[in-house]
Amino acid sequence: MVDATTSPLRSAEASPHVHALAAGRMRASVRPLDGGRLASLWREEPGGGRTDVLVPLPETGFDPLFWPKAGTYPLVPFSNRIRGAAFRFGETPVALAPHPAAAPHALHGFCQMRPWTMTRHSQVQVEMRYRHAPESAPDAWPWEFEAIQRITLDASGVTHEIGVESRAASPMPIGLGLHPYFAVSQGDRISFAADAVWKADANGCGRELLTLTGSARLHDSRHGEDEVTTYHAGWGGTASLDRRDGTRVVIEANAPLDHLVFHVPAGGRYLCLEPVSHVADAFNLAASGKAGTGARVLRAGEAISATMRIELA
């Protein structure tokens, strides 16, 4: 779990709608009430312009079910799809709310659709928490937990920590990750390596894990307008985005974020490189006996945490 006791931040009595961060020429904004989002990340340039690393979140409000494709949001307590919005964990059947954008499946957990509480803040760092109480939440996730994010800006980038601690009396399944929308243009180069790829079905759910060898492990593509979504496993923890404007963005993540979702929408307006802990529909795949899904279990009082780093090199 991310340790809040070592932070020099001051406690916040209330959560403002937007909190600005500044370090050197780097700038960022965080919106706890809008799903705990890192809303923008950019570098101020000497000539007075700015280089956006992430697509900036619009300043206007939005329907939590139809969020803007911008910023970075947390994926808790699972990432991507759960087939049919239902799964069984041991003897416990779980029926979730289908997401309108992926119906009849559930999508990306639900923490990005809830307000988070900013618990500490400074000029360069924000800490925020979300407490899930099943009896008061409008979904059917039956386990209590607390999620925490800590976003720290420095002169070359941002470090984004995310963690979950179980407050449930019984074991609970868990998945987590982060979902950034990178600002890109046609021809930008994306590179990373991975040991395997999950074949997906027409519903966007994982189906079969395929091991990669030799040059097949290396992903090296140019950003374009064609829609593509691929699920990678055992990625090396480092990806690079070399933009045609001369900016080089390096994305790093540690375990348990050992899966990576690569997504380009039709038209190529943005790029998603999502470090996550499991493949789409991991809970159902694991229950059926599939190996390598990344599905994990937290017992009472246990915690899991991970870090993503975005740096301008």
Half-sphere exposure of 100 (CA within 13 A, CB side): 5
Domains and CATH numbers, the chain: 4-312 (2.70.98.10)
Phi, psi (degrees; rounded to nearest 5) at 209: -90, 125
Tell me if residue 252 falls in helix, strand or coil.
strand
Q: Write the single-letter amino acid at 208.
A: E
Residues 40-67: pLDDT tens digits? 999 999 988 999 999 999 988 899 999 9
- Is the distance from CB of 126 to CB of 30 less than 8 angstroms? yes
Positions in the chain whose pLDDT score sits under 50: 1-15
pTM value?
Answer: 0.94
- Give the mean pLDDT of the chain: 93
What is the pLDDT at residue 4?
A: 36
Residue with tokens 């340790």: 3
CB atoms within 10 A of CB 9: 17
Residue 296's DSSP bridge partners are 174
Provide the Cα torsion 208, 87, 107, 231; round to 10°.
-10
Nearest to 193 by CA among 149, 251, 246: 251
pLDDT of residue 258: 98
Tokens linked to 253: 């993540």
